[in-house]
Structure 1
Amino acid sequence: MGTEEQSNVAKGPTAGANPAGTAMMRAAVQHRYGPPSVLEVSEVEVPLPGRGDVLVQVSAAAVHPGDVFVMTGEPYLVRLAFGLRRPRQGIPGRDLAGRVAVVGEGVDTLQPGDEVFGWSTAGTLAQYACVPADNLVLVPAELSVVDAAAVPTSALTALQALRDVARVRPGQTVLITGASGGVGSFAVQIAKALGAEVTGVCSTRNVDLVRSLGADHVVDYTRSDVTLAGKRYDVILDNVEAQPLAAVRRALTDTGTLIPNSGRGGRWLGPVGRIVTARVLSAFTRQRLKPFLSVEKREDLLTLADMIATGQVTPLIDRTYGLDAAADALRYVGAGHTRGKVVVTV
């Protein structure tokens, strides 16, 4: 980072400097796995962008269940990827929106001052984050930075599940459980944009909300069991997985596609047992049981930006928290009853 660029970073809204002159920032940090109380907001060094990276001054960062799994280290299987005894990355968070502060060597697609959104593996619950330029796209003019931060992980998951895995076509029937949640609220809108007839499953208090997202039909799971209703669907995106696979399959057509997507399960292996069962059953039925992991792709983020710009998709924000309340944001997400997305403003 050049002298002028270092000066610009140090003059950030609350960034200070240590006695050695290194630019500092505030960030939510964890030094061990555990409940939200392990997070503390403290000063750490502003990261330096490497080749192909940009330094983003973070305006907002969304949190989702995956962030809770990494924070707690449960299911224990996640520790194989994120650190056996403690998280290798001490700053949680993956999604972000903000303004480019510094452009690293070799980056010619972005410039300082650009408003961007995307994802980073280096932690986003901080005033600044280093992000590969390929992980970012410009914020659509129609979108606030808070709404933009809500998009990456959850909307990419919904898009890839419905468009790529289920290959939803116009006229098909799609059932979405957890339709008022982070992934579900995007999935309802994306399924409609793909031309499907959409049924959302949610609790009583969220019926009107899910209907407002564009769902053709809404099932209140406290009053009706959708697996016993007799209707069968071409595609089921199960974001809750509250029912056994055998029960959910009753609501699936003979050649339909079921995508389990809660990520929850046992303390040790999480959803692995259910994933293995689904894959084994797929070999003995014409029904397609397709657990999957979403993959962040810049071209898909551009697709979502276009869908937002054309009014096909609108992020649904449940609550916002300040950086000092990041632990409360993750605690709320971990409880599992969000209505849309939870965003931390920085």
Structure 2
Amino acid sequence: MPDSYVPDELDIAIVDSLSIHPRASWIAVADALGSNASTVARRWDRLKLLGLAWTLCVRDYTALAVQDHLDIRCRPGFIEELAALFCEVKCCLTVSAVSGNADLRILVDVPDISSLHAFMNHEVWRNPGIVSVEHNIATEVFQTARGWVSGSLSLRQRTALRQSITVHRPALARLTAREEQIAIILQRDARTSASDIADELGMSLPSASRQISRLIASNKIELRAEAAHAVVGWPISVCLYSQVKPGRLRAAAAGAAKLPRSRATHTVVSPRWNLMTIYWMRDLADIHRIEEALETSNESLTVVARQVTLKSYKRMGMIFDANARAVRNVLTDL
């Protein structure tokens, strides 16, 4: 299978379909796309094998523990070494080389503030290649990349795929021991079948099916389909930091989350801004258009800083090779 494989429109549509419903049956995906189940399954297997697309499981990040987007300035020549180091740390979910006010941006997810303090002392400041760190601690998550689509599907197709999704919103609780076992398997591949999970955990198939369905319908975990930028055709990732008047902050965040191609919207505690947004774009010129849309949507919002992702080393646990293809997943704590 050639490494030069170029995904086509059907590949993109399959990724978008699984972004909407990561565990949709191949029959459901095929029906929505006007294809057949064997074709879409074969296409997905090829994308996954080439490291161009994958599924995963993370905890529900709208239910905050402590998330901190660290902007790290490095000494010359240390970026690659530090990126490789942090890629192996479980609580470092995403590691990117960026332009602007930092060299590396790292998303850290820990249970509480004291854990963040320990991480900084034991994992960050012991590295001589680090010059400075600026914290952007999330106070509220308005949007994650869950369900993000490139725009290849029609409204009819999106509606068809959503019909079989069941979501309940019970009071948030910690994962039970059994739920954690299931979630760990889904971290490796969110499409792992109920029969494979039952075999691995020594459960009956009916029991496994019930517990998987109940867990997925809760707000404890988030299933996602992700893809390399090359697949979805949106190669530019930009992070915009904005300052908003406190009384308008939540309205500004809600508006920012609705803009096209938005991947993340967080209100944050930081010395210079209080809103952080991430967008995927087709070209660099789109950055100015999204800035204009942001500032037009809320008069009290001012974009203060911009970071373009120069290289993605790790995204939500998945590590990439030099060709930006997924190679392995560093499992996170759920």
User: Normalising by the residue count of structure 1, what TM-score does the alignment of the two structures yield?
Assistant: 0.24
Query: TM-score under structure 2 normalisation?
Result: 0.24
Q: Whose helix proportion is higher, 1 or 2?
A: 2
